[in-house]
């Protein structure tokens, strides 16, 4: 029987790649449900190609427009309740979480309670609510398979070796500003910042890659996915993006996962795990590689990485505050309301003001800390 998939965020960069993977393995997978924020045109086009039973958009005004353009007979849902309904359906086996932002935590928790198989691209939900999500997944015996390329690499390298793990190396391309002096960051346009040298991704993660907050969020994501202390998660800048991450074992052996940068590989593995199938991606040809280089990240130039590590060490509600402040700062930057160089400065300020931290937060404490951080960032942006 075919596995039935729901994609939350199907019109984004991960969502589109996930649909390519499903098309290429159409004898094994079918689409039950798709969701988008507001891109009605793309969502209805996808619905005509993949025939899902259900679609979901952000609100009822958008749902009215979607009804007019989606194939007749398709059920249309809205908002957070709609996402919860999708992940709870009996005819959904696997949920791909490809919405950006920590609002993904609520449907993720719901999917875990319904014991769905989870392919997790969204990292913000783990950064913010990892302390709730991971124990819940364990309790319900649910596998969370990472889609984020570095975490997929570590997940693949770790198979059968977890007891012997010394530490992990998360690789980072360094983003578009890697070799540009910090004093010149604000001279570069949003178009430049959004044009990542190795990956084609959505706006939020592209800005996070330029500030290197993306790697900071990934350190926290790795902590939760692999149950690691902060000191055992090293970051290495590797601009060629051939090695997607590595693990070091207690005998000094290092395993790396290597391929051309193409998100269809980790997406496919997350839905087919533990099996592997042929992909339609281009394969790496070693004779085309002139150099593989590595350097330590410069946290003076990219303070976001330091801020994320500090938030992780402090624990409790600090990572949720870091993440929410970053989401708001990036939104402001993308709307042209904030200079690029202000992003980490203002995130640090919000973190400094977080005096009511909760050490072992409930989901309510996390939501409260997030909305406080969003308001605080909004005040600083005014
Ligand atoms: P995109 O911005 O390209 O896509 C986001 C998707 O979520 C779109 O379908 C969008 O719909 C939908 N969406 C946005 N806001 C809402 C909302 N409030 N409610 C419901 N749906 C919403 O993001 P990416 O695909 O780049 O990234 C998705 C997630 O995957 C992020 O968490 C990112 O960190 C992670 N990730 C991405 C990688 C990549 O290569 N892109 C790599 C590793 C991780 P609409 O189109 O209508 O706006
Ligand atoms: Mg990544």
Q: Tell how far the Cα of 202 is from the centroid of ligand 1, in angstroms.
A: 6
Q: Tell how far the Cα of 51 is from the centroid of ligand 2, in angstroms.
A: 30
**How far from the centroid of its chain's Cα atoms is residue 138's Cα?**
20
* Contact in structure between 289 and 310 (CB atoms under 8 Å): no
pLDDT tens string 186-236: 999 999 999 999 999 999 999 999 999 999 999 999 999 999 999 999 999
Looking at the CA of residue 57, tell me the nearest atom of ligand 1. Answer: 20
Which amino acids bring their CB within 6 angstroms of ligand 1?
9-15, 35-39, 58, 98-100, 103, 121-124, 148, 199, 201-205, 263
* Contact in structure between 103 and 80 (CB atoms under 8 Å): yes
Q: How confident is the model at residue 280, as a pLDDT?
A: 92
Please list the ranges in the chain whose pLDDT falls under 50. none
- At residue 76's C-alpha, the angle toward residues 74 and 79, to 5°, is 155
H or E segment to which residue 82 belongs: helix 79-88
Q: Tell how far the Cα of 52 is from the centroid of ligand 2, in angstroms.
A: 28
Domains of the chain: 3-142 (3.40.50.720), 149-265+282-298 (no CATH), 315-382 (1.10.1740.10)
Q: How confident is the model at residue 215, as a pLDDT?
A: 98
Q: How confident is the model at residue 31, as a pLDDT?
A: 98
Residue having the nearest C-alpha atom to atom 36 of ligand 1? 121
């Amino acid at each position: 029987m075919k596995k039935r998939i729901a994609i939350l965020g199907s019109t984004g960069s991960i969502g589109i790649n996930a649909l390519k993977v499903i098309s290429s393995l159409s004898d094994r997978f079918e689409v039950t449900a798709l969701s988008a924020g507001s891109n009605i045109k793309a969502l209805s086009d996808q619905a005509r190609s993949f025939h899902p039973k259900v679609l979901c958009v952000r609100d009822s005004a958008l749902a009215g427009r979607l009804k007019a353009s989606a194939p007749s007979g398709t059920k249309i849902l809205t908002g957070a309740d709609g996402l919860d309904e999708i992940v709870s359906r009996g005819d959904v086996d696997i949920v791909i979480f490809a919405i950006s932002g920590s609002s993904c935590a609520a449907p993720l928790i719901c999917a875990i309670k319904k014991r769905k198989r989870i392919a997790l691209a969204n990292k913000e939900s783990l950064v913010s609510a990892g302390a709730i999500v991971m124990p819940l997944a364990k309790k319900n015996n649910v596998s969370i398979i990472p889609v984020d390329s570095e975490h997929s690499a570590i997940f693949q390298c770790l198979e059968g070796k977890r007891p012997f793990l010394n530490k992990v190396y998360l690789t980072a391309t360094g983003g578009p500003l890697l070799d540009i002096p910090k004093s010149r960051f604000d001279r570069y346009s949003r178009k430049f910042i959004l044009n990542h040298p190795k990956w084609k991704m959505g706006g939020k993660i592209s800005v996070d890659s330029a500030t290197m907050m993306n790697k900071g969020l990934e350190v926290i994501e790795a902590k939760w996915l692999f149950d690691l202390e902060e000191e055992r998660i090293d970051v290495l800048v590797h601009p060629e993006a051939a090695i997607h991450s590595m693990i070091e074992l207690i005998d000094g052996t290092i395993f790396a996962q290597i391929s051309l940068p193409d998100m269809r590989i980790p997406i496919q593995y997350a839905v087919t795990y533990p099996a592997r199938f042929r992909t339609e991606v281009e394969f790496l040809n070693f004779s085309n590689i002139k150099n593989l280089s590595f350097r330590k990240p410069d946290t003076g130039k990219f303070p976001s990485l330091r801020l994320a590590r500090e938030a992780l060490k402090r624990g409790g509600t600090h990572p949720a505050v870091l993440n929410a402040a970053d989401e708001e700062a990036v939104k402001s930057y993308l709307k042209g309301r904030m200079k690029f160089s202000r992003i980490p400065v203002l995130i640090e300020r919000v973190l400094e003001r977080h005096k009511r931290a909760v050490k072992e937060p409930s989901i309510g404490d996390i939501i409260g800390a997030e909305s406080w951080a969003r308001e605080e960032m909004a005040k600083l942006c005014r």
